[in-house]
Amino acid sequence: MTVEIEGVTLHLAHPDELAAEWVGQSELMRHLLAAWMVIHEQDLPMSPRLLGKPGVGKTTLAYAAGKRMGREVYILQATMDTRPEDLLVTPVIEGTGSLRYVASPLVTAMIRGGIAILDEGNRMSEKSWASLAPLLDNRRYVESIVAGIKIKAHPQFRLVATMNDDASTFELPEYIHSRLQPQIFIDFPERDEEKQILRENLPFAEERILEYVTDFLQMAHAADERYTVRDGINVARFAIKLKSLATQKTHEHEALEISIARVLGEEALRYARRRPADS
């Protein structure tokens, strides 16, 4: 798919299609959708930040909100190496020696009126953030230096940035900090919600395994460990696979303990349910 802007042909990205459902914590969904609302002709949508530990569902929430609005969703994964042209337009040399200009997922969302998720945005440098500054205020455009064009955002375009709460990130520049509002913090879900998330992702898992992993996660949360439901999904999935190959000597509880140790490390076993005395 291509569009022409100021005489330059841009090749657009494809929207992301994920099997992602947001379970529980409906208030967070309400906050995100409210930030994206436009309630007056002089109003503008906001560009919120979703904050939380890795694995708590920030990207899932953003994606589910976009799909709830019936819109195309585009995800751009930010890294420490993300350059301004990676965020906007990248020139690609074709076989004939000519240049083809490829729009990023973010710019494609701008053009098509979709939802852009800037994933793990606080891993980017200030130079990259600077290229987005006019998009995040009332100007709502970006300028591609490599293509020599200005790209205006469709009125239906919405943006959200997810940001991990860990040490491997940059501090946001103040002028970007004030543009990415409101801040929506995602914490660990309650027990019933956590179990439901596990069930949604592992519909083939037996109830005993879901109960065991939920108990493990809740114990870890109470001790302020960083283990998340994503970790729990991996633990349960690996345990199910181990159990399927089990000999008569290997049983379900042992498979779960092995899985915890292999996925999260031996120290995580302190939060595992004790093995029954008769096992």
Residue 229 · residue 59 · CB < 8 Å: no
Q: Mean pLDDT of successive 10-residue segments in the chain (279 residues)? A: 92 91 87 96 94 89 95 95 94 82 96 96 91 95 94 97 77 90 92 92 93 95 90 95 73 89 94 66
Q: What was the pLDDT predicted at 167?
A: 58
Within 10 angstroms of residue 222's Cβ, the number of other Cβ atoms is 10
pTM of the model: 0.86
| Integer angstrom CA distances of residue 109 from 15, 23, 38, 72 | 8, 25, 18, 8
Q: What was the pLDDT predicted at 168?
A: 58
User: How far is residue 146's CA from residue 43's CA, in Å, rounded to a whole number?
Assistant: 32
Q: What was the pLDDT predicted at 53?
A: 86
Read off the pLDDT of residues 126-169 as tens digits, 9 standing for 90 and up: 999 999 999 999 999 999 999 999 999 999 999 999 998 765 56
The terminus-to-terminus CA distance of the chain in angstroms comes to: 60
Nearest to 193 by CA among 157, 218, 212: 218
- Please, what CATH class does the domain formed by 2-185 belong to? alpha beta
Residue 258 tokens read as 């092995």
Read off the pLDDT of residues 60-71 as tens digits, 9 standing for 90 and up: 999 999 999 999
For the chain, the structural domain boundaries read: 2-185, 191-271
Q: What was the pLDDT predicted at 173?
A: 87
